[in-house]
Amino acid sequence: MNKYSLKEQIERGDLVRIVGAHNGLTARLVEEAGFEGVWASGFEISTSHAVPDANILTMSDFLDAASEMAHTVSIPVIADCDTGFGNSNNVMHMVRRYEAAGVAAVCIEDKKFPKVNSFIAGRQDLAAIGEFVGKLMAANNAKKTEKFLIFARVEALIAGWGLEEALKRAHAYIDAGADGIFIHSKSQEPDEIIDFCKSWNKRSPLLICPTTYHIPESEMRSLGIHIVIYANQSIRAAIRSMQSVLRHIRRHGNLRLEDKIVPMEEAFRLQGMYMMKHDERKYLKTEMGSIRALIPAAGYKVDDSLKPLVEDRPVGMLDINGKSVLQRNIEALNIAGIQDISVVAGYQADRVILEGVKIARNREFETTGIMHSVMQGVDAVADKNLIIYSDILVDSYLLEKLLKKEGDIVLVGDRSYHKINYRNKELELIVIDNPLPDSRRSIDTNRKNIVKKIGKKIPEEEGSCEFVGIAMLSRKGMQLLMDEYRIFGPARTLSFADFIQHLVDKNHEVRMYEVAGGWMEIHTFEDYKNACALFS
């Protein structure tokens, strides 16, 4: 961002390079390319509406486009206001509206309304000097602040009236209070512009628009030129590129198109999507209050059958038909309305590349347990805090239902594990206080299901449910978890389930939300194959 206003930039004597744009996007590209200002070009705005640059659009159309640009960029926008959209009354209205819209300057030209673009042969009628001087005085009267500038554009060279007429007009316009003269030429050579500059002898700032002729930028300041306008090259580049891509698609479909177009991510960046997501995490509250999700994904211990697949990445980054396990869970969380997500990486952390989440690190993943990873991801406590293992896939509907459950610590337990042949896998089982008689069918009620025991040591026949690897903690529950973690010595090395057992032992209430499905684990190669088949 340039810390100087347009007026200050001119007063400092720097060459101000400005480039034509027609909407917020093109203005943003001009700013990102490093130019000092944006020209809200009548030619570009008209072209973008597919109408002639001949006062076909109304002032409101041009103003809409210019104010969109002014809101998008922090560099000054100079608005091309043609002949001022009518007589001096229209000019006053125009100045008030453009100044209020946040543009830095307007430029009006001394042709008759309706004008035609200066590069079109034929009718290029000039207004009487007195009439245009009246417009400039009206414009000066209408503006509210001194930093808002009014430039007068002299079209005498365009109309073929010669240097003397151009100079006569320019002097009259400066006398009437214009802040600078835009001297325009459609010649292929710079001679008439250079002659004008020399005769003008630096009486006021000069603006030029080299569209057909060329003057090296290094010579401009000594000629008294303060602002150079590259007025219409942006949209001409866009037209060429779009035509070429459209031809390509017509011939080859989208085959080998990627190097001709920007990736979607670049368009999202320019939209401000990532900035919006960042803000959303701070400000967007659901009717359930703020919600955060935390995914500990630092661990490296897996079943032998999975080892070859996770040599270079953690389980959460395993690809399930084009998307990682974690990315799929992030999408499920987003569908459930949760945007504030942190993933804690450890093993092969560099491979944890995810869109729209915060990545934290557990650098001691080899010597610590999941509980320690969880704590590395806590940078704030929300009204509801979800903890989700990284080696499971979960349905958004399960998360939506979980968020409606009451309790300070609620674990998700699956009752269907009894049916599954686990081949001696060590499951984290849960025992609840008042289990229902074993049955294959179940219904989602509001039973509290108070957890008595949890962990890998519980015999299968004793367990009520399998811990899914998903927990929800209220603000109070999360605070309790953090406080206990601080005071309980062995906490760093404990699994999450063992730490919950510690809380149960200390008589803290832990509840269980009983489900049958809605999630699946990726513990073995078989599990991985199943998941790939499911998402094919």
Q: How far apart are CA 261 and CA 155, in angstroms?
A: 39
80/521 with CB nearer Mg ion: 80
Contact 4, 24 (CB under 8 A): no
- 97-136 footprint of ligand SPV as x/- string (CB under 6 A): --------------------xx------------------
DSSP-based three-state secondary structure for 217: helix
Q: How far is the CB of 56 from ligand SPV (least distance, A)?
A: 13
* Tokens read off for 93: 């209205």
* Tokens read off for 35: 């130019």
20/316 with CB nearer ligand SPV: 20
105/344 with CB nearer ligand SPV: 105
44 near Mg ion, judged by CB under 5 A: no
Name the binder of 303 from ligand SPV, Mg ion, none, CB < 5-8 A by kind.
Answer: none
Contact 315, 352 (CB under 8 A): no
Q: How far apart are CA 235 and CA 26, in angstroms?
A: 8
Name residues contacting ligand SPV, limited to 377-406 (CB under 6 A): none
42 near Mg ion, judged by CB under 5 A: yes
Q: How many helices (H) and strands (E) does the chain have?
A: 19, 21
- Choose the stretch contacting ligand SPV; rule: CB under 6 A; options: 36-44, 120-128, 399-407, 447-455: 36-44
Contact 163, 192 (CB under 8 A): yes
Options 80, 99, 414, 514; binder of Mg ion; rule CB under 5 A:
80
Q: How far apart are CA 292 and CA 339, in angstroms?
A: 7
* Tokens read off for 137: 């005085």
Q: Which residues, 6+ apart, have CB-to-CB distance to 497 below 8 Å?
A: 428, 454, 455, 456, 467
84 near Mg ion, judged by CB under 5 A: no
Q: How far apart are CA 523 and CA 528, in angstroms?
A: 8
Q: Is the peptide bond prior to 52 cis by the omega test (within 30 degrees of 0)?
A: no
20 near ligand SPV, judged by CB under 6 A: yes
CA 11 vs. chain centroid, Å, equals 35
Residue 253 φ/ψ region, left for φ over 0, alpha for ψ in the -120 to 50 degree band, beta for the rest: left
- Choose the stretch contacting ligand SPV; rule: CB under 6 A; options: 39-47, 255-263, 425-433, 459-467: 39-47
Options 31, 36, 68, 80; binder of ligand SPV; rule CB under 6 A:
80
Q: How far apart are CA 52 and CA 29, in angstroms?
A: 24
Contact 406, 510 (CB under 8 A): no
Name the binder of 377 from Mg ion, ligand SPV, none, CB < 5-8 A by kind.
Answer: none
166/310 with CB nearer ligand SPV: 166
Q: Active-site residues: which are they?
A: 53
Q: How far is the CB of 152 from ligand SPV (least distance, A)?
A: 13
85 near ligand SPV, judged by CB under 6 A: no
181/370 with CB nearer ligand SPV: 181
20 near Mg ion, judged by CB under 5 A: no
Q: How far is the CB of 61 from ligand SPV (least distance, A)?
A: 13
Name the binder of 151 from Mg ion, ligand SPV, none, CB < 5-8 A by kind.
Answer: none
Q: How far apart are CA 513 and CA 444, in angstroms?
A: 8
Q: How far is the CB of 45 from ligand SPV (least distance, A)?
A: 8
CB atoms within 10 A of CB 498: 19
Amino acid at 156: A
Q: What is the gyration radius of the CA atoms in the chain, in angstroms?
A: 34
209/478 with CB nearer ligand SPV: 209
36/527 with CB nearer ligand SPV: 36
- Choose the stretch contacting ligand SPV; rule: CB under 6 A; options: 41-49, 274-282, 363-371, 527-535: 41-49
Binding site for ligand SPV (CB under 6 A): 20, 41-43, 53, 80, 117-118, 209, 211, 231-232
Binding site for Mg ion (CB under 5 A): 42, 80
